[in-house]
Copies of this chain bind each other. A is one copy, B any other.
Amino acid sequence: MTTLQLNLPKLVRQQNPVVLTIANTVTPAKVADGLSAIGTSPIMSIAPQEASEMVALANAITINLGTINKEQVNEITTVLKENQNQKPVVLDPVAIGASQYRLTVAKGLLQSYQFTVIRGNAGEIAALANVNWSSHGIDGGSGQANLHEIAKNVAQAYNCIVVLTGKTDIVTDGNNEFINHLSTNYFTTNIGSGDMLSSIIAAYLSVSDTPYLAVCTATKFFTAAGVKAAREVTGFGQWQVKLMDELATLNSNEVLSVL
Which residues of A does B touch, CB under 8 Å?
16, 18, 23, 25-30, 32-33, 36-37, 41-50, 53-54, 57, 66-72, 95, 98-102, 136-139, 189-192, 234-238, 240-249
Contact between chains at B240 and A41 (CB < 8 Å): no
With both beta carbons as reference points, the residue of chain B lying nearest to A37 in the complex is identified as: B236
Q: Contacts of A247 on B, CB cut-off 8 Å?
A: 236
- A137 contact from B41, B99, B234, Cβ within 8 A: B41
Contact between chains at B248 and A189 (CB < 8 Å): yes
Q: Contacts of A32 on B, CB cut-off 8 Å?
A: 26-27, 191-192
Copy total for this chain: 3
Given contacts A18-B137, A99-B54, A191-B36, contact A67 B41 (CB under 8 A): no
Complex CA distance for A42 and B102, rounded to whole angstroms? 17
With both beta carbons as reference points, the residue of chain B lying nearest to A68 in the complex is identified as: B47
Q: Contacts of A100 on B, CB cut-off 8 Å?
A: 50, 53
- A248 contact from B102, B235, B246, Cβ within 8 A: B235
Can you name 6 extra interface pairs (CB under 8 A) apart from A29-B192, A33-B190, A237-B244? A18-B137, A26-B44, A41-B138, A44-B67, A49-B70, A240-B244
Minimum distance in angstroms from A65 CB to a CB of chain B = 10
Contact between chains at A26 and B26 (CB < 8 Å): no
- A27 contact from B29, B102, B190, B241, Cβ within 8 A: B29
- A240 contact from B68, B101, B192, B241, Cβ within 8 A: B241
- A237 contact from B41, B66, B192, B242, Cβ within 8 A: B242
Minimum distance in angstroms from A206 CB to a CB of chain B = 13
Given contacts A53-B99, A235-B244, contact A44 B25 (CB under 8 A): yes
- A245 contact from B16, B68, B190, B235, Cβ within 8 A: B235
Q: Contacts of A139 on B, CB cut-off 8 Å?
A: 16, 41
Complex CA distance for A59 and B74, rounded to whole angstroms? 31
Contact between chains at B190 and A36 (CB < 8 Å): yes
Q: Contacts of A99 on B, CB cut-off 8 Å?
A: 45, 50, 53-54
Q: Contacts of A49 on B, CB cut-off 8 Å?
A: 69-70, 101
Given contacts A26-B23, A245-B238, contact A69 B42 (CB under 8 A): no
Contact between chains at A47 and B244 (CB < 8 Å): no
Can you pick out 10 interface pairs between chain A and chain B where the beta carbons lie within 8 Å of each other? A16-B139, A41-B137, A41-B139, A43-B98, A43-B137, A47-B69, A235-B248, A236-B248, A237-B242, A240-B244
